[in-house]
A and B are shown apart, each in its own frame.
Chain A
C-alpha cells in the first residue's frame, strides 16, 4: 500500500470517524459534566437534610456575604483564563491576584488611617490594583513571559510592597463607605451580599452579553483565528490582567470592611480563587470558564465550609475535602478536555 493510497483512505474515513468521535466525545463530556453537577447537588441535598439551619434565609445570606470577596477575585481570575486560554501551563492565569488584593487593602487602610477620605483612598487602591495588573500585562503581553511565571514574580513584588507598607502589622480603618458596607442593608440583604450580586451581574453581562465578551472568548480559544479576524489580541489579553487588578482592588475594599482593617496573609486566598475559577468549568457545556460557573462554584465552596460547620464536622476536614473535590473536578475536566484535544 502506497502512502498516497493510505492518505486517500484516511481522508475518506476521516469525516465519518470524526463525526462518530465527536458524538461520543460530546456524550462522554456530558456524562462527566452531569456527574460532577450531580455530586455537587448530592452534597447540597445532604446539607439541606442533615445540617441544622442550613436552609434558613439568614444562613444563606451569611454564605453569600462570606463569598463576596472570593467571588470578586474569582471573576478576575476567570476573565484572565478566558482571555489567555484555559491551558493550565501556558494559558492565562493570574497568581498575583490575592497578593494584589493584600497590597490594595494595605494602601486603602493606610491612607484612611492617615486621614485621607474615602474618595482618594478608594481611587488610590484602584490605581494600585490596576497598576499591578498593568505590570502583569507588560510581562505577559509585552515581554512574552509565561503567565504562570510572570504573575508569580508579580505576586512577590506585590507581597513585598505590602510588607514594606504595613511592616506586617494590622492597619485598622474606618470610614463612611466602610460603615455602609459593614452595617448597610436593603431588602433584607446586607451591603456585602449586594456587592457580590451587583458585581456578578456586571461581569456576567460584560463577558456573556456583549460582543466584547464574545471576542474575548475568541482570543482565548483561538488566538490565531482571532488575529486573522482582525481582533487586537494583545489588547484583549492586557485588558484581562487590568480587569483582574481592578477586581483585586474592589475585593480589597470589601476585605477591609469585613475585617475593619488590612491584615497580613491575604495571599492565602489564592488557592481558593484558583479553585473557584477551575471548578466553575464543570458548569459550562464546553468545559470553559464562565462567569456564571464561577459564581456557582464560589457559592459551592462557601456552602461547603458552612455545611461542615453546621454538621459539626471538624474544621480540619474542610480543607481536605475541599482539596479532594477540586482535584476530582480538575482531573475529570482535564480528562474530558484532553480527549477533546487529541482529535
Chain B
C-alpha cells in the first residue's frame, strides 16, 4: 500500500468514525420521538414465517413504545383479505400506514389509493414508488454476498439448483437478479433449468421433494454443487433433502436468518453452507422511527437499510450467536 493510499484509508476511517458518532447523535434524537395521539395502521400479508412475525412485532412494539395506537392487520397470506383490510384501513384514515411484504403487482394499485387518500405510506421490505420510505436490508448487498459465498464454496464451477417462485416479491427479485449478475462473472457456474418453484404454504415439504427429485435425476456426485433460495425456509427443506440423500458435497444457501437455519449453518456437519441473517425486528422498529420522524416534520430518506450479516461455516459460531439471542429475547421460536 502506498503512503497516499494509507492516508486515504485513514481519512476514510476517520470519516466513518465521524459518521458513526453522527449516527449516535441521531440515535439520541430518536429517543425523543413520539407518536402520542397518532394512529398507525400496519398491514402484513402474513406472519407465518420467522422474519414476517419478527418485523410485524417490531413495528407494533415500537408504535406502542412511542405512545401511539396501532391498528395491526395480518392477512393470513390471503391477497383478497389484505386488499379488503387495506380498503377499510384507508376509510379509517390513520395518521400513517406501514405495509409489510406481499405481491407488489396486487398491492401497487392499492398503495396508490393510500397516497391518493393523503395518508403517508411507509413500507417494510417492499420497494414501491408509492412509499415515502422503505425500511429493509440492503438486498443488493445480501444478494451479491450470498451468491459470492456460494461461488467461492463451489470453487467457481458446478451446477446450482435455484428456487425462483417469488420473483414478484420485490426483495426476491433483487436477490435473484444479483445472483444472476454475479454469475455473469463465473460462467462455469450454471443454473439448472427449469428453475424450481418455492411455494407457500408447505414450503419445507415442497422444497424437500423438489430437491430430492433433482438429486435423483442427477445421481453422480458433484453433478449438483449448490441449492439457492431467496429466503431460508426452502433452504431448510433443501438441506434436509441433501442430507437424506447422502449428497454432502451439495451446500445450501438462503437469506433471512431464521434461528433454525442459523443453527444448521453453525453445525459443521450440516449441508447448510451460509445464510444472510437480517434483523427483522430492528427493521420493523426502524420503520416506525421513520414514521415518527416524518410526522414530526423531519426529512426521511426514500429507503433505510438495517445491517445484515453473512453467516457462513467459518464465522457461524461467533456471528450466529447474537441472532439466536435476539430471537430468544423476542420470544419467537
What residues of chain B lie closer than 8 Å to A168, measured between beta carbons? 165, 197, 199
A-B contact count (CB 8 A): 79
CB distance from B1 to the nearest CB of A (A): 50
Q: Give the one of B74, B103, B165 with max A CB within 10 A.
A: B103
Given A170-B106, A263-B79, A315-B74 contact (CB < 8 Å): yes
What residues of chain B lie closer than 8 Å to A312, measured between beta carbons? 69, 71
Say whether B85 contacts A261, CB under 8 Å: no
Given A62-B91, A309-B85, A268-B78 contact (CB < 8 Å): yes
What residues of chain B lie closer than 8 Å to A309, measured between beta carbons? 71, 73, 85, 88-89, 92
Say whether A265 contacts B165, CB under 8 Å: no
CB distance from B81 to the nearest CB of A (A): 8
Question: Which single residue of chain A is at the shortest CB-CB distance from B199?
Answer: A168
Say whether A260 contacts B92, CB under 8 Å: no
Chain A CB within 8 A of B109 CB: yes
Say whether B87 contacts A65, CB under 8 Å: yes
Say whether A263 contacts B106, CB under 8 Å: yes
What residues of chain B lie closer than 8 Å to A268, measured between beta carbons? 78
Chain A CB within 8 A of B140 CB: no
Chain A CB within 8 A of B220 CB: no
What residues of chain A lie closer than 8 Å to B69, measured between beta carbons? 312
Separation of A269 and B84 alpha carbons in the complex (Å): 14
Separation of A74 and B155 alpha carbons in the complex (Å): 58
Chain A CB within 8 A of B26 CB: no
What residues of chain B lie closer than 8 Å to A263, measured between beta carbons? 79, 103, 106
Say whether A259 contacts B83, CB under 8 Å: yes
Say whether chain A's binding surface is mostly helix, strand, loop, or mixed.
Answer: helix
Given A167-B197, A169-B197, A315-B85 contact (CB < 8 Å): yes
Chain A CB within 8 A of B318 CB: no
Say whether B91 contacts A56, CB under 8 Å: yes
Chain B CB within 8 A of A25 CB: no
Given A53-B92, A168-B197, A269-B72 contact (CB < 8 Å): no
Chain B CB within 8 A of A334 CB: no
Question: Which single residue of chain B is at the shortest CB-CB distance from A59?
Answer: B91
Say whether A269 contacts B80, CB under 8 Å: yes
1/0 contact string of B82-118 vs chain A (CB within 8 Å): 0111011101100000000001011011000000000
Separation of A184 and B21 alpha carbons in the complex (Å): 54
1/0 contact string of A118-153 vs chain B (CB within 8 Å): 000000000000000000000000000000000000
What residues of chain A lie closer than 8 Å to B74, measured between beta carbons? 315-316
Question: Which single residue of chain B is at the shortest CB-CB distance from A69?
Answer: B80
Say whether A314 contacts B197, CB under 8 Å: no
Chain B CB within 8 A of A66 CB: yes
Say whether B87 contacts A261, CB under 8 Å: no
Query: Per a CB cutoff under 8 Å, which of B77, B84, B165, B199 touches A305?
Result: B84
Chain A CB within 8 A of B188 CB: no
Given A65-B87, A66-B84, A269-B80, A260-B106 contact (CB < 8 Å): yes
Which residues 31-58 of A have a CB within 8 angstroms of B? 52-53, 56, 58
Chain A CB within 8 A of B294 CB: no
Say whether A182 contacts B88, CB under 8 Å: no
Chain A CB within 8 A of B315 CB: no
1/0 contact string of B178-204 vs chain A (CB within 8 Å): 000000000000000000010100000
Chain B CB within 8 A of A100 CB: no
Which residues 261-278 of A have a CB within 8 angstroms of B? 261, 263-265, 268-269
Chain B CB within 8 A of A286 CB: no
Question: Which single residue of chain B is at the shortest CB-CB distance from A170?
Answer: B168
CB distance from A200 to the nearest CB of B (A): 19
Chain B CB within 8 A of A91 CB: no
What residues of chain A lie closer than 8 Å to B89, measured between beta carbons? 309
Separation of A261 and B81 alpha carbons in the complex (Å): 15
Say whether B79 contacts A66, CB under 8 Å: no
Query: Per a CB cutoff under 8 Å, which of B76, B91, B109, B197 touches A53?
Result: B91
What residues of chain B lie closer than 8 Å to A167, measured between beta carbons? 165, 197
1/0 contact string of B48-80 vs chain A (CB within 8 Å): 000000000000000000000101111111111
Chain A CB within 8 A of B323 CB: no
Given A169-B168, A258-B83, A315-B91 contact (CB < 8 Å): no
Say whether B103 contacts A315, CB under 8 Å: no
CB distance from A177 to the nearest CB of B (A): 16
Chain B CB within 8 A of A172 CB: yes
Which residues 165-181 of A have a CB within 8 angstroms of B? 167-170, 172
What residues of chain B lie closer than 8 Å to A261, measured between beta carbons? 103, 105-106
Given A170-B103, A259-B79, A261-B105, A306-B72 contact (CB < 8 Å): no
What residues of chain B lie closer than 8 Å to A269, measured between beta carbons? 80
Separation of A309 and B75 alpha carbons in the complex (Å): 12
Given A259-B80, A260-B106, 8 more A-B residue pairs with CB atoms under 8 Å apart are A169-B167, A170-B105, A172-B168, A260-B108, A265-B77, A265-B79, A315-B75, A319-B76
Query: Which positions in B face A, CB cutoff 8 Å?
Result: 69, 71-81, 83-85, 87-89, 91-92, 103, 105-106, 108-109, 165, 167-168, 197, 199
Query: Which positions in A face B, CB cutoff 8 Å?
Result: 52-53, 56, 58-59, 62, 65-66, 69, 167-170, 172, 182, 255, 258-261, 263-265, 268-269, 302, 305-306, 309-310, 312, 314-316, 319
A-B contact pairs, 30 of them (CB 8 A): A56-B91, A58-B91, A62-B88, A66-B84, A69-B80, A167-B197, A168-B165, A169-B168, A170-B103, A170-B106, A259-B79, A259-B80, A260-B106, A261-B103, A261-B106, A263-B79, A265-B77, A265-B78, A269-B80, A305-B81, A305-B84, A306-B84, A309-B85, A310-B88, A312-B71, A315-B72, A315-B74, A315-B75, A316-B74, A319-B76
